[in-house]
Amino acid sequence: MANPIYLDHAATTPVRPEVLEAMLPYLSMTAFGNPSSAHRFGRTARAGLEQARREVAAALGTEPNQVIFTSGGTEADNHAVIGAALAARVRGGAMCAVVSAIEHKAILAAAHAVKHLGGEEIILPVNHAGRLELDALDEALMKRPAIVSVMWVNNEVGVVQPIPEIARRCADAKVPLHTDAVQAFGKIPFVLRDHPCALVTISGHKLGAPKGIGALIVRDRHIVEAMIHGGGQQFGIRPGTENVAGAVAFGRAATIAVQHLEAEAARLTTLRDRLAALILGSVPDIVVHGADAPRAPHVLSLGVPGADSETLLMHLDLADIAASGGSACSTGAVEPSHVLTAMGVPRDLALGSLRFSLGHETTAEEIDRVGVAFPGIVTKVRKLSTALGRA
């Protein structure tokens, strides 16, 4: 029997064997120490931690003392938005967070929390292609918000935002920009030093490190308050005994991802486009979401008219293909994805959408298998969806 096919790398990735090998000594043996301890065990752990900080910084094109390790992307996103709003309040400024409508829930919920704390949230629209409306950004900047947060690559549709241009506009208005680069880091080339983004979120498990490690890149310490209070670790910005093994893994994974970025981006773009061509060749009314915008190589988001995504995913799973949906099930009711809704995708099509996301171990043979199997699954699901009155 053929192996199951994993096309859900935007959700998470397997830990790379080299990464596992690099982190293991920091869980056991001689390197398990607390990096704040002065003895040799502590010094060994500290050396591993600082090396990891250097590796992550080098992969991003920034400075090691700007890398603040966190428990992942969600924590870093919350820290950026709420921490910046609190810092603005301390300075006597407006506690206002400006975010795009297609942000990850970690950002949208954090902006909402700012409102609950007595501040303001402003949600910026995107166009049909999923790109930020820059006029709306300019208007919001006139309010001198505490923070603007716009993601570099969207996790559902893969659309790339013009972050260099957005960063320039924010810098001109003297407003700090945060970008959630969780789906961009290691996938599209950038050198952070070239762009005036004040804060950047990254997460390890999207590029071959384990879950539970991420970082907030803090390029200006005055613009964020600490969210966790404790000892003085990580410059007091994010105290708590550091996840040394996780950080070492992240450093290694980041280095590998960036080393192979160019070749891997070309390979994944070819595979993604091949998958789209195979599927559209058999089912031409399928829509590729975000097709009119630049997209990251690893994400293919499809809208299947006359089908519902839950049933599609179930049938893909039965065929040993793992993908994910464009909708979230909350309180029992299936709601269309907020990203697709913000892009103006009709509700029915949004409810029939799904995402394939590719990774370093995805092969051409797997893509061909999915490309051959998917049209048959669509036919079956369309019949079922019609019979159940769901599409």
Ligand X SMILES: Cc1ncc(COP(=O)(O)O)c(C=O)c1O
Stretch that binds ligand X, among 45-53, 58-66, 175-183, 350-358 (CB under 6 A): 175-183
Q: Write the DSSP symbol of residue 20.
A: H
CA distance 19 to 35: 20
Q: Which of 35, 208, 214, 371 binds ligand X (CB under 6 A)?
A: 214
Q: Which is nearer to ligand X, 44 or 243 (CB)?
A: 243
CA distance 142 to 85: 16
Question: Which stretches of the chain are DSSP H helices?
Answer: 17-23, 40-60, 73-90, 105-116, 134-141, 163-172, 244-259, 261-282, 309-318, 338-342, 347-351, 364-388
Is residue 255 a contact point for ligand X (CB under 6 A)? no
Is residue 80 a contact point for ligand X (CB under 6 A)? no
Stretch that binds ligand X, among 176-184, 270-278, 291-299, 357-365 (CB under 6 A): 176-184
Q: Which of 183, 243, 324, 327 binds ligand X (CB under 6 A)?
A: 183
Which of 96, 170, 197, 329 is flagged as catalytic?
A: 329
Is residue 8 a contact point for ligand X (CB under 6 A)? no
Q: Which is nearer to ligand X, 280 or 322 (CB)?
A: 322
3-state helix, strand, coil in the chain (%, to 5): 45, 15, 40
Per DSSP, the three-state class of 173 is coil
Q: For residue 291, what are the contacts with CB-CB under 8 A and spacing of at least 6?
A: 129
Q: How far is the CB of 255 from ligand X (least distance, A)?
A: 19
| Alpha-carbon distances of 95 from 9, 89, 129, rounded to whole Å | 36, 6, 30
Stretch that binds ligand X, among 18-26, 178-186, 192-200, 311-319 (CB under 6 A): 178-186
Of residues 86 through 105, those in contact with ligand X by CB under 6 A are 104
Is residue 110 a contact point for ligand X (CB under 6 A)? no
- Is 329 an active-site residue? yes
Stretch that binds ligand X, among 80-88, 177-185, 228-236, 294-302 (CB under 6 A): 177-185
Q: How far is the CB of 104 from ligand X (least distance, A)?
A: 4
CB 79 within 8 A of CB 85: no
Is residue 130 a contact point for ligand X (CB under 6 A)? no
Stretch that binds ligand X, among 91-99, 179-187, 294-302, 318-326 (CB under 6 A): 179-187
φ, ψ of residue 127 in degrees (nearest 5): -85, -175
Q: Which of 33, 35, 48, 73 binds ligand X (CB under 6 A)?
A: 73
Per-residue exposure over 280-314, b if at least 16 CB sit within 10 Å of its own CB, e if not: beebeebbbbbeebebbbbbbbbbbebbbbbbbbe
CA distance 146 to 71: 24
| Alpha-carbon distances of 259 from 58, 286, 320, 363, rounded to whole Å | 11, 35, 31, 19
Is residue 106 a contact point for ligand X (CB under 6 A)? yes
Q: Which of 155, 243, 301, 362 binds ligand X (CB under 6 A)?
A: 155
Is residue 203 a contact point for ligand X (CB under 6 A)? yes
Q: Which is nearer to ligand X, 73 or 371 (CB)?
A: 73
Q: How many residues line the site for ligand X (CB under 6 A)?
A: 14
CA distance 122 to 99: 6
- What tokens appear for 382 in the block? 């369309």
Binding stretches for ligand X (CB under 6 A): 72-74, 77, 104, 106, 151, 155, 180, 182-183, 203, 205, 214
What are the residue numbers of the active site? Answer: 329
